[in-house]
A and B are shown apart, each in its own frame.
Chain A
């Protein structure tokens, strides 16, 4: 029973970050029809920025976190402006190829700047875990979960309660009509990409003190984000949130009870299972087939 509870707790903590990553990716796909292969690199970028600001320059950790998020957004806006804007109207495969090229160049760039040696971000939290009855969890992980939930909540408010959110949803549903209603579509695209990138960078910076920072840390994370997004349906924001937690549960319980070696394969096995049983996806959307 205790083992169950511990796994559950771990899964919830992990799921928060997964949801952040999934939402960013699904938002960009939903509004822009772009499969973002730089997502994992923005995650890595966020982690390196946290390392640079907090680890090398000795800034306050929370300050560094906020700055990493802002820098991630800036980089996202730059990518959108230079690479995606000129390709407007291109088919999905073309933009995918461009994003793959950008992803490769970014990862090699990170390798060039930071070297292959793993870095670690200093953690501002005490190392002894918080004990809750029969289970325990590290303070730093609780903080990650807290920030993730806060961001998820803020994100929902942004999408559902603000004028900007309405404009974004309108662009998602029908870009042309939205433009006719006076929505600045180009601005929406830049903002969307920046926002999604910022979420990825934040996730990277948040996890920096928990894991080590390496140039290839984004590879697996990007693939997991893809898995989450498929589970929830591309472009489906609540779907990505649920997908994030579902994947975390599958990984935690799979690693705990089946085999820890296959932990990172769980997401893909889940996708394959979904495709066999329910090809239209857990939260079906119309663009799925065709």
Chain B
């Protein structure tokens, strides 16, 4: 019973605590951390549950960000015909959903393409994909403004009974929105991994040939997982773009994928809570370090932390804590019964 209530208690604390503190800086840090946690949760679906080290994940985030920004700003596209294709500014929520859809579509295409190969090849193909996206964003100046960035992106809006439809300029509302999206993503992932699809994914992670032999359509399940993960990363990108209200090609940088990977791996890949724990740790750590260390030193600490985690906590923090508790419970039970080794738990 308590284990069921615990996540909701956590959500409640996260929802009320920062608002109660009311510090704008803390809200800002937690909002951007939350956006990254959504990205990390979606990456965990691939990295943790299917076992595919996808290192181009930021591409879906960036595609979501750019699509949502462009749809909400409106754009015209010269497709070589007589009349350029013109699209006026769309409502922000239409743009946001559009970002999710386009990111998911790219997830489908890249999944179809990249899952033709495995292992190191897959990793390199996914990195390349993000890199191509960055170059497109840099060079397709007519559409993306290239290095000049897309500016003045409208914030998301929400209908409140006491205020009507209001644009979300305030940090409190943005924070709650990010938290809500994170909860939705968490529930979707939870349902998914506990379903038939989730069991199929874990089966193919553990032994692909065996999974294939019992009739699991491996590529299809991998593509399904990629589409969902890409859509969620696109949602995170949309949240980001309407919150920061500017987006430039640097959003596709490899280092952001690495940040998400670090979050997942430190927290515990293939666990539901892992990306959240790792995400909170690595979202807040830079802000703490900022007081004492230069950015270069921060990155050195990141890199070293990654090595240390792989060496000493290969499963990540969540499984390590779980094992520690399980071990303690066992020891406590053993002492209570006056037994030492014969306990069966």
Interface residues of A (CB under 8 A from B): 29, 35, 83, 86-87, 92-94, 96-98, 100-109, 111-112, 219, 223, 226-227, 229-230, 234, 259, 261-262, 264-265, 267-269, 271-272, 275-276, 279, 287-290
Q: Are A83 and B296 in contact (CB under 8 A)?
A: no
Chain A residue nearest to B302 in the complex (CB): A104
DSSP majority for the B interface? helix
**What B residues does A288 contact at CB under 8 A?**
117, 121
Min CB gap A28→B, angstroms: 11
Min CB gap A82→B, angstroms: 10
Given A111-B296, A290-B118, CB of A219 within 8 Å of CB of B254:
yes
Q: Which of under 10, 10 to 19, 20 to 34, or 35 or more describes the interface residues of B?
A: 35 or more
Q: Are B261 and A97 in contact (CB under 8 A)?
A: yes
Q: Are A102 and B307 in contact (CB under 8 A)?
A: yes
26 A-B pairs with C-beta separation under 8 A: A92-B120, A93-B51, A97-B265, A97-B310, A98-B310, A100-B258, A101-B303, A101-B304, A101-B307, A103-B303, A107-B299, A108-B296, A108-B299, A108-B300, A108-B303, A112-B297, A226-B127, A234-B120, A262-B139, A264-B131, A272-B128, A275-B117, A279-B116, A287-B119, A288-B121, A289-B117
Given A98-B306, A272-B113, CB of A230 within 8 Å of CB of B296:
no
**What B residues does A265 contact at CB under 8 A?**
131-132, 135-136
CB of B125 closer than 8 Å to a CB of A? yes
**What A residues does B152 contact at CB under 8 A?**
none
- 0 or 1 for each of B120-150: is its CB under 8 Å from A? (1 = yes): 1101110111011001101100000000000
Q: Are A101 and B113 in contact (CB under 8 A)?
A: no
CB of B172 closer than 8 Å to a CB of A? no
Q: Are B118 and A268 in contact (CB under 8 A)?
A: no
- 0 or 1 for each of B279-309: is its CB under 8 Å from A? (1 = yes): 0000000000000001111111011111100
**What B residues does A276 contact at CB under 8 A?**
113
Looking at the complex, which one of A96, A105, A287 makes contact with B299 (CB distance below 8 Å)?
A105
Most chain A CB inside 10 Å of its own CB: which residue of B113, B120, B125, B131: B120
Q: Are A234 and B121 in contact (CB under 8 A)?
A: yes
> When chains A and B are docked, how far (Å) is the Cα of A29 from the Cα of B114?
20
**What B residues does A229 contact at CB under 8 A?**
124
Which parts of B48-69 form the interface with A (CB within 8 Å)? 51, 53
Q: Are B303 and A104 in contact (CB under 8 A)?
A: yes
**What A residues does B121 contact at CB under 8 A?**
230, 234, 288
Looking at the complex, which one of A100, A101, A105, A223 makes contact with B131 (CB distance below 8 Å)?
A223
> When chains A and B are docked, how far (Å) is the Cα of A109 from the Cα of B129?
27
DSSP majority for the A interface? helix
Looking at the complex, which one of B208, B261, B299 makes contact with A290 (CB distance below 8 Å)?
B208
**What A residues does B117 contact at CB under 8 A?**
275, 279, 288-289
Q: Are B306 and A104 in contact (CB under 8 A)?
A: yes
Looking at the complex, which one of B129, B297, B302, B305 makes contact with A268 (CB distance below 8 Å)?
B129
Chain A residue nearest to B136 in the complex (CB): A265
CB of B319 closer than 8 Å to a CB of A? no
Q: Are A101 and B306 in contact (CB under 8 A)?
A: yes
Given A223-B131, A226-B127, A259-B139, CB of A112 within 8 Å of CB of B116:
no
Given A227-B128, A271-B128, A272-B113, CB of A101 within 8 Å of CB of B310:
yes
> When chains A and B are docked, how far (Å) is the Cα of A111 from the Cα of B297?
9
**What A residues does B129 contact at CB under 8 A?**
268, 272
**What A residues does B310 contact at CB under 8 A?**
94, 97-98, 101
> When chains A and B are docked, how far (Å) is the Cα of A16 from the Cα of B9?
61
Min CB gap B52→A, angstroms: 9
CB of B209 closer than 8 Å to a CB of A? yes
> When chains A and B are docked, how far (Å) is the Cα of A87 from the Cα of B53?
18
Contacts beyond the supplied A35-B120, A101-B302, A219-B254: 17 A-B pairs with Cβ under 8 Å? A35-B123, A92-B120, A96-B53, A101-B303, A101-B305, A101-B310, A102-B307, A104-B255, A105-B300, A111-B296, A223-B131, A226-B128, A230-B125, A234-B120, A262-B139, A279-B117, A290-B119
CB of B25 closer than 8 Å to a CB of A? no
Min CB gap A156→B, angstroms: 24
Chain A residue nearest to B146 in the complex (CB): A261
Q: Are A223 and B304 in contact (CB under 8 A)?
A: no
